[in-house]
Amino acid sequence: MRISCGSAIWPVIATCALHPVSAAAWTTDLACELSNPPPPGITAFSLTSYSTAHAASGAGSCQMGITAGSDGWGTFGAVYAFPSNVTQGSSIWLRASLFIPPGFDVTTDDGFLKFLRIHTANASGGNEGYHDLLISTPGNINWSPGIGNWTAPYIYNFEGAAKLFGVGTDPADDFVTGAWETYEINVVFDSTPKSSGGNAEVRIWKNNALLLDNTDQPTLVSSTDYADAFYLFTYWNGNAPATQSLYVDDMIISTDTPSNRDAAGNPCLCAPTPTGN
């Protein structure tokens, strides 16, 4: 079941609880349209603002700026605290449209720009690591235990398992500048991988094409852990190389299984790739 929250703005966000389906199921539309004050849970960093320069849909988008030499914390991106924790046995889907202007420099000191991040915590509230979808510096050579050297336009990393996975193929799946592209991540939370008899699985799509289906590692460190927040950018490894901005639009986060399916039959938030300016 999907519920549309109607028009919302950045940093104004509409949150919908799905009471008839499950007390724990919810969907949040993080739309970037001018509207009412934001509800509890959203923290827009200081260089995040509503902009009409580019829009995946509607009249505007979320412009996110970074200053040269800054690590971006408190200025670049936003954090959204979930309405309720997502626990073992539950799933989450997160979708966003991204516009990277020509000339935007994604270079970091380790080759990975933090992008879509889902935070996990233990029963005491301590940090257990993020599920990260990272943008790789074009041409960057990566290394991970059990994988070796490889290149990929994106990287998936669950910090609680400490293993990097390439997402997509260079150059076919490289990010495109000057156009809107969509990214989606689905995490099934479990402390045991699906390949070992549990349910832990991570899928990642770009423009509705499935680029990663990882069933070989846990998605929680412990069965009592949970996911509690979404981080959008927020930290630039090694500090930003330039003062610049990019744009995000049409973000949706849901713990309710979507009715849409990808080409392989997997449930996804999949929607047409935006053709806005």
Lowest mean pLDDT among 19-23, 60-64, 175-179: 19-23
Q: Is residue 272 part of a domain?
A: no
| pLDDT at residue 18 tops 80 | no
CB 134 within 8 A of CB 112: yes
Q: Is residue 6 part of a domain?
A: no
CA–CA separation, 64 vs 247, rounded Å? 6
Q: Is residue 262 part of a domain?
A: no
* Mean pLDDT in residue range 120-145: 92
Q: Is residue 1 part of a domain?
A: no
CA–CA separation, 158 vs 161, rounded Å? 6
CA–CA separation, 98 vs 251, rounded Å? 10
Residue 38: the pLDDT is: 57
Half-sphere exposure of 243 (CA within 13 A, CB side): 2
Q: Residue 44 phi/psi, 5° resolution?
A: -90, 125
Residue 140: the pLDDT is: 83
Q: Is residue 194 part of a domain?
A: yes
Q: Is residue 123 part of a domain?
A: yes
Omega within 30 of 0 (cis) for the link into 11: yes
Mean pLDDT estimate for the chain = 88
| pLDDT at residue 151 tops 70 | yes
pLDDT, tens digit (0-9, with 9 covering 90-100), for 72-128: 999 999 999 999 999 999 999 999 999 999 999 999 999 999 999 999 999 999 999
Residue 20: the pLDDT is: 29
What 8-state DSSP symbol labels residue 58? T
Q: Is residue 209 part of a domain?
A: yes
How many percent of the chain have pLDDT more than 90?
A: 75
CATH label of the domain that carries residue 174: 2.60.120.200
Residue 36: the pLDDT is: 44
Which ranges of the chain does DSSP label H, i.e. alpha helix?
none
- Which candidate, 154, 156, 184, places its Cα nearest to that of 260? 184
Instruction: Dig out the tokens for 54 from the structure.
Output: 């580019």
Range of the domain at 176: 14-254
CB 38 within 8 A of CB 13: yes
CA–CA separation, 18 vs 81, rounded Å? 17
Whole-prediction pTM: 0.90
* Mean pLDDT in residue range 188-200: 98
Q: Is residue 163 part of a domain?
A: yes
Q: Residue 87 phi/psi, 5° resolution?
A: -110, 180
Number of domains present in the structure of the chain: 1
